[in-house]
C-alpha cells in the first residue's frame, strides 16, 4: 500500500493505492482538502501582514555573547 500526497499552498490532496511488482493494482481512496487563500476578500491583501510586522519588530539579533533587540 502506498500514499501519494500533493501539498499545495491552498490545498492538500491524497491518494491511497496498492501496487504489485511496481504496477498500481487498486485505488483504495483519495481526497482533497481546500483552504482559503489567506487573503482579505475586500482588499486582496495578505492576512499575514500584521503578524509578520509584529514579528519583525521583536526580532533579536545575536552578536557574539550579547543579544540586542531591534527597534
| pTM attached to this predicted model | 0.51
Tell which wins on pLDDT, 46 or 64.
46
Per-residue b/e over 45-54, b at no fewer than 16 CB within 10 Å? eeeeeeeeee
Tracing cell 490532496 back to the chain, one arrives at 13
Q: Structurally, how many domains does the chain consist of?
A: 1
Each residue's pLDDT tens digit, 38-61? 787 788 788 777 777 777 777 655
Tell which wins on pLDDT, 48 or 15.
15
Domain range enclosing 9: 2-69
**What is residue 71's predicted lDDT score, i.e. its pLDDT?**
47
Residue 32: pLDDT band by 50, 70, 90 thresholds?
very high
Amino acid at each position: 500500500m502506498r500514499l501519494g500526497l500533493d501539498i499545495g499552498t491552498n490545498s492538500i490532496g491524497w491518494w491511497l493505492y496498492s501496487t504489485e511488482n511496481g504496477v498500481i493494482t487498486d485505488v483504495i481512496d483519495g481526497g482533497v482538502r481546500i483552504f482559503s487563500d489567506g487573503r482579505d476578500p475586500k482588499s486582496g491583501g495578505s492576512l499575514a501582514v500584521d503578524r509578520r510586522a509584529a514579528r519583525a519588530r521583536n526580532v533579536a539579533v545575536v552578536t557574539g555573547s550579547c543579544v540586542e533587540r531591534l527597534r
